[in-house]
Chain A
Amino acid sequence: MNNKVVAALPLLLALAPSLAMAESASDNYHTYCIQCHGMRGDGMGVNIRDMSVQPRDHTDAKAMGGRSDDEIFKVIKEGGLSISKSVLMPPWGSTFTDNEIHDLVKYLRTLCKCKHGG
């Protein structure tokens, strides 16, 4: 084993848990998102009764098609305020890795059956 590989081992070992623990977008969605966005992704989650702003309906192709993938990534990672939307959408950047958020963006596109602008 050459010296560079040996030197990198501690870093690789440190990264291993996070790499191993990457969760699927569907599992993440059905653990974290459905509390507000609903079991069916329609914005009708168990938490919404007393909310002042209703969560986004992820099955709404028109509304979801109006957001770019970058905007959706940003709002998941940094929260609603980052795109001038509700504070009730929290920042999930300490919960998901960037890769998991990218996967969630793709997953949301399957829920809305839509693309940005179309």
Chain B
Amino acid sequence: MNTRLFLSILFGMTCLLSPQAYAGEDGLSILTSRCATCHNLKGPAPTSLKALWQRKGPDLFYAGNKYRHDWLVTWLQKPVRIRPAGMFYRDHIKPGPKHDVVDESTLKPHLRLNKADAMAVADALMTLKAHSNLVASEKLTPAPSPIGEMMFDKIYGCMACHQIEPGFGGMSGPEAYTAGKRLQAPFMLSYIKNPQAWDPKIWMPNKHVPADNIQQLVNYLIDLSKEDFSDEQ
């Protein structure tokens, strides 16, 4: 058998055995095979602390109502940590000389996807639309938010748990300075209004923020996310 014929047969057999390798893997298949170990794709969110403690990554069963598609495509190709102390901060802290600190040795990098897979997964995530009722009536009115930062930092104390720039702010919640480009505005409006409606056992309290002030906070977060923090990371 000459080399050319051998390679042709080998190629044909490979395609028959693994058609997806050449067609590009389906996003839902990737989610099921590579993501479901750490992410809940079907719901519901934990309703007990025991279940909460076992969660390894953010729930994705409402990803289509939470994340921005363009951010997903970018982040999945170059994932960076969003929660300074990991998914559940208690699993990743230790006593420090002055106060508790993040134990970096316990934090693992997120898997990285190639561009085609990232796009396929982002498309698939956008189809996961649980809790649509919570965002159906939420609408942001874009406007300047001159006191949004004061609200975030001082009036509602959100900065206690969220960073407003790299290395400044709390560690137990996801960073706030990327929220505006990461999350859909209706999701932010709804989540601030009632975090427990999305995630009953989450350690973010409901601060009973009036609707007008939630608008200010979300407009602030969107403006904040447009700042260039690349020098500080």
Q: Do A and B come from one complex?
A: yes
Which residues of chain A are within 8 angstroms of B171 by Cβ–Cβ distance?
35, 46-47
Stretch at the interface among B6-14, B45-53, B71-79, B210-218: B45-53
Closest to A96 in B: B205
Q: How many B residues face the partner with a CB closer than 8 A?
A: 36
Q: How many A residues face the partner with a CB closer than 8 A?
A: 32
**Given A21-B47, A47-B172, A87-B157, A39-B196 contact (CB < 8 Å):** no
For A75-109 the 0/1 string (1 means CB < 8 A from B) is 00001000000111011111100000000000000
- Contact, CB under 8 Å: B100 / A46: yes
- Contact, CB under 8 Å: B90 / A31: yes
Q: In the complex, A47 Cα to B161 Cα: how many Å? A: 6
The reply on A28 being an interface residue by CB < 8 A is yes
Stretch at the interface among B91-99, B109-117, B140-148, B182-190: B91-99
Closest to B159 in A: A50
The reply on A64 being an interface residue by CB < 8 A is no
The reply on B174 being an interface residue by CB < 8 A is no
The reply on B203 being an interface residue by CB < 8 A is yes
Closest to B47 in A: A21
The reply on B102 being an interface residue by CB < 8 A is yes
- Contact, CB under 8 Å: A90 / B157: yes
- Contact, CB under 8 Å: A45 / B207: no
The reply on A111 being an interface residue by CB < 8 A is no
- Contact, CB under 8 Å: A34 / B49: no
- Main SS class of interface, A: loop
How far does the Cβ of B169 sit from chain A's closest Cβ, in whole Å? 6
**Given A44-B98, A45-B99, A45-B100, A90-B159 contact (CB < 8 Å):** no
- Contact, CB under 8 Å: B95 / A39: yes
For B195-230 the 0/1 string (1 means CB < 8 A from A) is 010000101011110000000000000000000000
How far does the Cβ of A55 sit from chain B's closest Cβ, in whole Å? 9
Which residues of chain A are within 8 angstroms of B168 by Cβ–Cβ distance?
50
Contact of B102 among A46, A48, A90 (CB under 8 A): A46
Most chain A CB atoms below 10 A, which of B47, B154, B161, B196:
B161
For B159-174 the 0/1 string (1 means CB < 8 A from A) is 1110000001111100
- Contact, CB under 8 Å: B49 / A28: yes
Which residues of chain B are within 8 angstroms of A28 by Cβ–Cβ distance?
49
Which residues of chain B are within 8 angstroms of A50 by Cβ–Cβ distance?
159, 168-170
- Contact, CB under 8 Å: B161 / A91: no
How far does the Cβ of B95 sit from chain A's closest Cβ, in whole Å? 6
Q: In the complex, A51 Cα to B171 Cα: how many Å? A: 11
How far does the Cβ of A90 sit from chain B's closest Cβ, in whole Å? 4
The reply on A72 being an interface residue by CB < 8 A is no
Which residues of chain B are within 8 angstroms of A44 by Cβ–Cβ distance?
95, 98-100
Contact of B157 among A31, A32, A34, A86 (CB under 8 A): A86
Known: A31-B49, A95-B196, A95-B205. 4 other contacts (CB 8 A): A21-B48, A39-B93, A91-B208, A92-B205
Q: Which residues of B contact A (CB under 8 A)?
A: 47-49, 52-53, 85, 89-90, 93-95, 98-102, 154-157, 159-161, 168-172, 194, 196, 201, 203, 205-208
Closest 8 CB pairs of A and B: A94-B206, A44-B99, A47-B170, A35-B172, A90-B205, A46-B100, A88-B157, A87-B157
